[in-house]
Structure 1
Amino acid sequence: MEDKTRVSRNSFQSKSGFDIDASPYILATDFPFLVWSGLDWKGKSVLIIANSGDNIITLWPLGVKNIVAVDIAKKACFVNELKRASLKILSFTEFLLLFAPNYRNNIFPLANPIEKKKLYLKLRHLLSDEAKDWLETQIGSTPFPNPSWQEAIFAPLIPHFSKKEGFYQAKQYLKFYPIINLPIELALEKIPEIFDIIYLSNIPEYIKQTLTPEKEPEIKPYLENLYKLAKEKLASGGKLMVYSFGSFKKNPDLLSPDIEICKNLGFIFKPIVFSFSTPLIKNSHFTHTLAIFEVN
């Protein structure tokens, strides 16, 4: 099915500082799926930041009812289309080949642009015209899709990349999902549906860390508006999820503005702090936080 869910370029702008022309991530850079299995997803309607599409793929086997993906970055939307079509059409070996980096990695085979172009042509019919137009400036003439080493070192964590059985489980449960190219705050205003779960990824953390000092007074009002809009789109008992690249237990200030705002909005705060490692970094240890704000 061709994806018709699109908004034309330059029809919007975001106060968050995110770039609509940003280069896309090819692999997941946040890892909430490491703890998602401990939560109730069955029959839930989910709004999620699209990112690389990997978080979305891990949700279908957990029994979600439907997913709507949103991303301000147009190229991220195209990568989602590509990954969704690839999972549907390709074998595990072909899937790894298409998304392989152009350097040696223990998870991926070595691939060249010609091989990737052949695989792309097998699934091209499932893509929107806009996605085709951009992807065909990349695939075959460059190593794209070519994950950075910072992305590829975490590939062992992603079940549909690290294990054949994980890939075929993802293929079995995959459903079509709309991909909306809008800033999240505008999407929350425009999308008519109500959701059981909204996942904002690390957008709040990004805003707090990257807005310039002269714009610091804008951070709290932006977050207040974002969380207010999210609450209006949540069903009774719904959950708002936010990702943080650090331990809330060791550094409560990571989420202190978010907690204050969400408590004032009537949310109950339930953090999940979790640790993990990747075999591609010797003696690695990372601790992240999935902040869950539940509608009271």
Structure 2
Amino acid sequence: MRDRESFESANFESESGFDTESPPYILSTDFPFLVWPRFDWQGKKVLLIADSGDNIFTLWPLGVSQIVAVDIARKACFLNELKLAVLRKLSFSEFRKLFAPVYENRLIPRTTPAEKRSLYLKIRDLISSQCRTWLDSEIGVTDFPSPPWRELMFTHLIPHFNSEHAFNVAKDALKPYTLINLPIETALENSDDQYDVIYLSNIPEYIKHSLLMEERDSEISPVLEKLYALSMTRLKQAGSLMLYIFGDAVSQPDLCAHEVEIGEKLGLSLYMEKITFSTPLIEGCFFTHTLIVMTKEKGK
């Protein structure tokens, strides 16, 4: 994992409201991988938000050539290290046990902290010393890594968590990837690389929410425009900038009003992919999220 300062002295800031000590998501809460197959990933170089690591593990089997993962939260980077090591060395059943909840539920058999500790010790030598220092004080001592209900209810959507076959496909396709502990804005500014795809996840939604809560509504468009314009400078001419919206932006255009306005201002093409899914915990209930794709128009 790369960062610009030691964790002890880091003071990263982002308009998203996250900081370097933000707790990690154990399991993915965004599900772009449900529509990943609609795109051509073969040989592509991708930059994305590290998050829980699950989106990364769904990309390798699609043929991407290189992945750079960025996250302001060092614990998210540590979780990526942990999952990478587990996917490499442990079995499907062991993977599920380590990231299973410690509480009773209808979806996955619960696992005790002691069982988690035993599994962790099998892969401890595969992770960095910084990662070990943190995980040594968490796994077996606390409930970590136990996903909360809001994450657990959609585990069936995550291929390598739901299916042994998908787990083995992900394991076979797995490659090392770069982890950078910085805000996405800083990482983009510091990079000279060009990417085929940049996936910002729902960071723009966090920015909107953070600025609204601080009554800085008028700053939303300028902050997002700067982020999108900066992202475009790191994209190849035929590259794509992808954003995730927790809602149906096709039926509710207000959810992507800033993106449409900024896209027009920057001369970008914009289209949306609807992502519809359900959970076995709520019968007959369906959810719709949206993947927004922004590309450079010809001649721009």
- Fold match, TM over 0.5? yes
* SS of match in other structure, 1:28: coil
Residue 223 in structure 1 maps to residue 224 in structure 2: yes
SS at match of 1:64: coil
- Report deviation, 1:11: 4.1
Structure 1 segments of 4+ aligned residues over 4 angstroms from their partners: none
Cα deviation digits, residues 171-210 of structure 1 (max 9, x gap): 0101111111100000001122110000000011121123
| 1:1-296 mapped onto 2 (5 Å cutoff) | 4-7=1-4, 8-9=6-7, 10-211=10-211, 212-296=213-297
TM-aligned CA distance change 1:36 to 1:151, over 3 Å:
same
Give the gaps of 5 or more residues in structure 2: none
C-alpha distance in structure 1 between counterparts of 2:119 and 2:294, whole Å? 41
CA distance in 2, matches of 1:152, 1:15: 28
The answer to whether the 8 A contact 2:15-2:210 is kept is no
Partner SS, residue 272 of structure 2: strand
CA pair 250-276 structure 1, distance change in 2 beyond 3 A: same
**Unaligned segments of structure 1, at least 5 residues:** none
Whether the aligned pair in 2 keeps the contact of 1:276 and 1:286 (CA below 8 Å) is: yes
Residue identity opposite 2:240 in structure 1 = K
| TM-score using structure 2 length | 0.94
SS in 2 for 1:255: helix
Aligned length: 293
Give the Å deviation of 1:169: 0.6
TM-score computed with the length of structure 1 as normaliser: 0.96
Question: Alignment RMSD, CA only?
Answer: 1.3
Contact 1:154 1:280 in 2 (8 A): no
| Cα distance in 1 for residues equivalent to 2:159 and 2:172 | 14
SS for the counterpart of 2:275 is: strand
Q: CA deviation at 1:27?
A: 0.2
2 CA distance for matches of 1:267 and 1:89? Answer: 43
Change in CA separation of 1:161 and 1:107 when aligned onto 2, cut-off 3 Å:
farther
Compute the displacement of 1:107 (Å). 4.1
Alignment-mate amino acid for residue 5 of structure 1:
R
Paired residue type of 1:111: T
Q: Aligned with 1:257: secondary structure?
A: helix
Q: Spell out, residue by residue over 1:88-109, the C-alpha distance to the aligned partner (whole angstroms, 9 max, x if none).
A: 0100010001001011334433
Residues 121-167 of structure 1, C-alpha deviation per residue, up to 9 Å, x if partnerless? 11111211111111111001112101001100100000001111011
